[in-house]
Amino acid sequence: MFMTLILGIETSCDETAAAVVENGRVIHADVVASQTDLHARYGGVFPEVAARAHIETIDTVVEEAVLTSGKNWQEIEAIAVTYGPGLPGSLLVGVNFAKGLALGRSLPLIGVNHLEGHLYSTWLVNPEKPIEFPVVALIVSGGHTELVLMRDHGDYEHLGGTIDDAAGEAFDKVGRLLGLPYPGGPSIQKAAEGGSTTAYDFPRALPERPYDFSFSGLKTSVMRAVRPPHPHGGEKLKPGTLREGVNVADVAASFQAAVVEVLVTKTVRAAETLGATEILLAGGVSANRALREAFSQQTTLPVRIPPLKLCTDNAAMIAAAGFFLYQQGQLADYTLDVKPNLALTTYRGTSRGM
Ligand code: KG4
Ligand code: ZN
């Protein structure tokens, strides 16, 4: 097959990333500069700090991606960049950089939806094994929880999603509540080791809505279980102030089990009911070990989950999604603007109007 190399650029949140990917499936370079340490002291991403850090690192990151790919600029066929959803200032840095580069090097520009990027991170798993449609995909990140039926490239049916907090957001909020370091997901996974998953019977929400999720009640339940009695009312407790005798490992393990159970049950139900050939799992939360293990135990369908490095934000997934957009002529022009609230929408048979 003819080799098409796409340069991907991702700056939607707190990672500055660039990658070179062949035919949407084979990674030649994947560079991620994470700002986690910069934001840890704020207990979350500080938007202005993020945008400034992107400006400072983006050219080095892009240069390094092309250099380590072993390819030269003449071999790059197009530039794919995340234009939403995400933090406006952070997105602007990536989009403007990509526009300048595309213009300067006379290369086509492709605007990629960050959620579509996460979805396509699964195309980078077992590149030799084709993905047969339809598939059911669960995208679980810091800002999104989306259950999608994908009938073809660019053909998405939204089956359900969260009605309040995203799964990653729940991990981050409960992590903060327990006084664990940001981001909460990996911290809770670590804290849960050795804890009992049945020590607390936290709620599994929305049993009556087959494909929707809700995590804010779960967070409140954890809060009630761990916070000390509060005689004065009103005043705020410092994060990490816990009721005497609370076992953090047990709370973390029971909370994680509650999140995992609903994510797995609803996704497997959708895939089996709708005749999916396989399940795709993507987004930062798919790095969670308990979630990965639960999927493999609860369905006989194949489950495609990216390696840890491709679960959290990266540009290889943006280049992969970009390749399939490129193949279908879904190009952007130099008026491409950021869309901080972009949703995952079908583009098949349409012009995306970018
Ligand atoms: O996809 P991502 O890197 O950024 C967004 O697009 O949001 O996802 C970040 C989210 C955070 O909420 C983080 O706590 C969560 O993914 N996360 C995890 C794990 N690693 C990252 N959640 C649970 N377990 C993990 N091991
Ligand atoms: Zn993401």
Flag whether 343 is in a domain: no
Residues 181, 293, single domain; the answer is yes
CB atoms within 10 A of CB 335: 7
Number of independent structural domains in the chain: 2
**pLDDT at residue 12, as a whole number:** 97
Give the residue, out of 15, 91, 139, 141, with the most ligand 1 atoms within 8 A of its beta carbon, to mutate for a pocket test: 141
On whether residue 255 sits in a domain, the answer given is yes
**What is the rounded CA–CA span in Å between residue 157 and residue 149?**
5
Indicate whether 196 pLDDT > 70: yes
Report the C-alpha gap between 221 and 339 in whole angstroms. Answer: 34
Decide if 352 is inside a domain: no
Listed residue (173, 221, 186) closest to 200, CA to CA: 221
CA–centroid distance, 16 to ligand 2, in Å, is 12
Same-domain pairing of 36 and 79: yes
Residues 108 and 43 in one domain: yes
For residues 140 and 240, membership in a common domain is answered with: yes
| Model confidence pLDDT, tens digit, residues 292-321 | 999 999 999 999 999 999 999 999 999 999
Q: Are 24 and 97 in contact (CB under 8 A)?
A: no
Cα 338 to averaged position of ligand 2 atoms, centre (Å): 16
d(CA 210, CA 187) in angstroms, rounded, equals: 29
**Residues near 272 by beta carbon (within 8 Å), at least 6 away in sequence:** 299, 301
> Do residues 184 and 319 share a domain?
no
pLDDT at residue 341, rounded to an integer: 96
Residues 315 and 288 in one domain: no
CA 117–ligand 2 middle distance (angstroms): 8
Shortest-distance Cα residue to atom 10 of ligand 1 = 142
**Ligand 1 atom at shortest distance from the alpha carbon of 312:** 3
Length of the chain measured in residues = 354
| 227 shares a domain with 241 | yes
Tell me the pTM: 0.94
Does a cis peptide bond (omega within 30 degrees of 0) precede residue 108? no
Query: Which backbone phi and psi does 109 adopt, to 5 degrees?
Result: -115, 135
Q: With a cut of 80, say whether residue 330 has pLDDT above it.
A: yes
CB distance 325 to 110 below 8 Å = yes
pLDDT at residue 349, as a whole number: 66
Secondary structure (DSSP) of 129-179? SPPPSPEEEEEE-SS-EEEEEEEETTEEEEEEEBSSS-HHHHHHHHHHHTT
**In a domain? residue 72:** yes
Residues 295 and 320 in one domain: no
Residues with beta carbon inside 6 Å of ligand 1?
Answer: 13, 141-143, 168, 171-172, 183-186, 189, 283-285, 287-288, 312-313
Nearest ligand atom owner, CA of 183:
1
The CATH number linked to 227 is: 3.30.420.40
pLDDT (tens digit per residue) in 31-65: 999 887 877 777 778 888 889 999 999 999 999 99
Q: Which helix (H) or strand (E) holds 152?
A: strand 145-152
Q: Same domain for 199 and 146?
A: yes
φ/ψ of residue 47, rounded to 5: -55, -45
Same domain, 208 and 244: yes
Stretch 159-180: mean pLDDT: 96
Same domain, 17 and 108: yes
The pLDDT assigned to 40 comes to: 78
139 & 114 share domain? no
Whether residue 235 is contained in a domain is answered as: yes
The boundaries of the domain holding residue 238 are 135-305
The pLDDT of residue 233 is: 58
Does residue 344 form part of some domain? Answer: no
Q: Whose CA is nearest to atom 1 of ligand 1?
A: 284
pLDDT digits (tens, 9 = 90+) for 223-259: 999 998 876 655 677 888 899 999 999 999 999 999 9
**Euclidean distance between CA atoms 278 and 269, whole angstroms:** 12
Task: Round to whole Å and give the CA distance between 292 and 279.
Answer: 12
In a domain, 256, yes or no: yes
Paired with 162 in beta bridges are 213
Q: Is residue 348 part of a domain?
A: no
